[in-house]
Amino acid sequence: MLVLPENYENKLGIYDTQSAIKMVKDTFERELAKNLTLHRVSAPLFVDSLSGLNDNLNGIERPVAFDIKNLDGSYEIVHSLAKWKRLALKQYDFYDHKGLYTDMNAIRRDEDLDNLHSIYVDQWDWEKIILREDRNVEYLKDTVRSILKALKATEYVLAGKYPQLKPFISEDVYFITSEELLQMYPDKTPKEREYLICKEHPTVFLMQIGDRLSNGERHDGRAPDYDDWQLNGDILIYDPVLDCALEISSMGIRVDEKSLLEQLHKTHNEERQYLPFHQALLHHQLPLTIGGGIGQSRLCMLLLQKAHIGEVQVSVWPKEMRDVCAEHGMLLL
């Protein structure tokens, strides 16, 4: 649903907005790579449909598929690079506690378009090799703190160039599981629960997403074959412009052999274990990793204090949405 904030003030004109977007992307990318020990690599726009490498998200989103002249089979625009990155770490000879990051561009044609959602997705995908003993909650939390440190550094650089953009993001992360959040607000929907906890704690890492909660429901959908549902989560930040909990990252420690089979069973996706990627994992041919995606346009929208993702990203929007947004000071690119 489209949100039209009252008395919305666009703090940067369109020219300065473009300059600020570059500043945000350059600064955050550099700080993230430094804090997590990441090295930039190139990444695919599409993968073989039968490789098992594409992220099937919640299992209902349709990938954009096509054939290629002189090649057999079908190919898909990636939804994310969650599984490809793990394979790349092995192929590119990365080693323990060293990782990669890349620009990921995707088309998610089944998105419901609003202030936060576009059919065009651009994010930093990152992945890092870890040891077996790193597969714990404390390692996950430390990684989240490192990401927030990069975000705050970017916010201060931006404010130095554009003083009208006052820093507002809290680096003090509040950690809570989806089950604990359900117990706090048992009569609320998942999105309402996220909003309420972010109003109280402006920066939240909501953990353990994907499995069924005590009420028999899932907080949110997660594919069963990349994140370990006991060791994952979302970074949520309170956005004062839209008065909402804004998810900027979904991340986690990835499945090992045991959690992969358990989660495929829980979601009735056992047939996926025979795909090439899954077979490599089950036969100990892939490293243990932690990784995630960080939305580039969402981060720019948040830091530039914009009310619509279309103000920082070129995509397609219904004419009615463009017209209404323009009336309220939001110029959709």
* Catalytically annotated residues: 55, 108, 123, 234, 247, 250
d(CA 244, CA 296): 18
CB atoms within 10 A of CB 76: 21
Burial class (CB in 10 A: 0-12, 13-18, 19+), 267: middle
d(CA 118, CA 108): 8
Instruction: Supply φ then ψ for residue 74, to 5 degrees.
Output: -125, 150
Q: How far apart are the two ends of the chain, measured CA to CA in Å?
A: 19
Q: Is 184 left (phi over 0), alpha (psi -120 to 50) or beta?
A: alpha
Distances (CA, A) of 213 to 67, 220, 222: 40, 10, 13
